[in-house]
Amino acid sequence: MFSLIALSLLFTVASSTPLVEQLGLKSNDSYNIQAVLVAGSNGWYNYRHQADVCHAYQVLRSHGVPAENIIVMMYDDIANASENPHPGKIFNIPKGPDVYAGVSKDYTGDEVNAENFLKVIKGDKGLAAKGKKVLTSGPNDHVFIYFADHGATGLIAFPEDTLSSDDLNKALVYMHDNKLYGKLTFYVEACESGSMFENILPKDINIYATTAANSEESSWGCYCDEKDIDTCLGDEYSVAWLQDSDKHDLTKETLEQQFKDVVKNTPRSHPQEFGTKSIADLVVGEFQGEKASSSNQLYRKVPARGSVNSRDIPLVMLRRKMIKTNDENEAASLHKQLSNLIAGRHFLESGMNKIVAQLCSAGFCSSVEEVMTTRRPLVNHSAHSTVVKKFNSSCLNVAVHNYAMKYIYVLANLVEANNFNETSLSHFLKALERACETHIVDNGFKAIV
């Protein structure tokens, strides 16, 4: 009799209680949710990053996260750009709502940089003393970080500078050691974004991270086929998680369930999971807000379409504009821009081959072809960070010359092929600087994108 009653009670509980609560996985601690949302780019062809972040702001607000608990970093040059056919508005899905409306922007223009981002997540008191918002979370609080921009092997970009995987993960460890969160989730939209956490993010510091792509592939922009806007409205991975959060009861859907939905709806790259995987058993609402959304009917689920490899978006958009225009002067201007863009890419490809050849001649590699055509897993994140910073200062700034990010894997290959100590790394950096001065510096291109 007892067994039958117990079984009946178990069935009743199971049928009415989310699995995460049945298994005791729901966090019972009293906590606040704080969030940092970052669009790390500027320029019209990067429209999608600010659109993604504005949509993320709307998701958090509609699910009850207070505005004062959300920190937004975005250049803010899109809504009122001269190219915008809808002044003052930004859209993340075709014929969707204006996601720009009501967004509280805390860091704009030149304030959107790697240094400020690290200070924000570390709760920098100096920045706070200047009246700027920083995380004020404590040991029980839940932190949600979302970043959307360009990326490469071991780095993500801001408008004028980059952030290395080494510096990012050191900051995350600092946050853990200084009890600046209880649990943290981190979503990253960027090419090769898996390399920001692979072989470096600890599994025991209560951080769960997902990325748009693995460590070797590009992410993809989507809704790039809107005729009146001439740029991509969103990114496949970002649109997938945003639309998932729009439509679900976030008190019942787990992070793992959302990740599986994102994988299913990100057809052209391979989203990844890192860190403390058990956090994925918690519900999404613990990081994005637990209130039932009052605006989810505004956001239709629109499958990703019109997708373009993120690295090729400037190229594709220019070609489309050339096809559309009937103005001879505009056509000539667009043709000149396209020719310059292609010339810059060819110059960079040739220059990287020449740099590697010179480094091989100096004894740092044996085969130019091997360095250029293979990919070694990035393990020595610290040395790679040092090398990338030298490349940025001695060759070109990849945050400005976005297309150069395509070749950062070459630097990772060189780092992993050499067991650098302090002395040999110093010699390599000098050799890299010489090669850059010979083959890349004074290239004459304002921006290679």
Q: What is the full per-residue pLDDT of the chain (449 aa) written as tens digits?
A: 334 434 343 333 333 344 444 433 455 569 999 999 999 999 999 999 999 999 999 999 999 999 999 999 999 999 999 999 999 999 999 999 999 999 999 999 999 999 999 999 999 999 999 999 999 999 999 999 999 999 999 999 999 999 999 999 999 999 999 999 999 999 999 999 999 999 999 999 999 999 999 999 999 999 999 988 999 999 999 999 999 999 999 999 999 999 999 999 999 999 999 999 999 999 999 999 999 876 665 677 898 999 999 999 999 999 999 999 999 999 999 999 999 999 999 999 999 999 999 999 999 999 999 999 999 999 999 999 999 999 999 999 999 999 999 999 999 999 999 999 999 999 999 999 999 999 999 999 999 99
Q: Residue 129: which region, alpha, beta or left (left: phi > 0; alpha: psi -120 to 50)?
A: alpha
Q: What CATH number is given for 17-309 in this structure?
A: 3.40.50.1460
Query: Side-chain half-sphere of 170: how many Cα atoms within 13 Å?
Result: 10
Widest distance between CA atoms in the chain: 88
CA angle 5, 10, 14 (to 5 degrees): 150
Please state the domain extents for the chain: 17-309, 325-439
What is the percentage of the chain residues whose pLDDT exceeds 90? 90
- The rounded distance, in Å, linking the Cα atoms of 445 and 449 is 10
Q: Which two tokens stand for residue 16?
A: 């009415």
Can you give the pTM of this predicted structure? 0.93
Give the C-alpha distances (Å, rounded to integers) separating 313 from 75, 99, 306, 310, 318: 19, 22, 11, 5, 9
pLDDT tens profile 407-438: 999 999 999 999 999 999 999 999 999 999 99
162 forms bridges with which residues in the sheet?
A: 157
- The rounded distance, in Å, linking the Cα atoms of 378 and 214 is 12
8 A C-beta contact, residue 372 and residue 356: yes
pLDDT tens profile 34-43: 999 999 999 9
Q: Which two tokens stand for residue 296?
A: 């989810």
325-439 carries CATH number 1.10.10.10 = no
- The rounded distance, in Å, linking the Cα atoms of 116 and 114 is 6
- The rounded distance, in Å, linking the Cα atoms of 68 and 48 is 25
Which residues are marked as active site?
150, 191
Query: Side-chain half-sphere of 71: how many Cα atoms within 13 Å?
Result: 28
Please indicate whether the domains covering 17-309 and 325-439 agree at the CATH topology level. no
Residue 419, burial from CB neighbour count under 10 angstroms (0-12, 13-18, 19+): exposed
- The rounded distance, in Å, linking the Cα atoms of 3 and 112 is 62
Q: What is the DSSP string of 148-163?
A: ES-EETTEEE-SS-EE
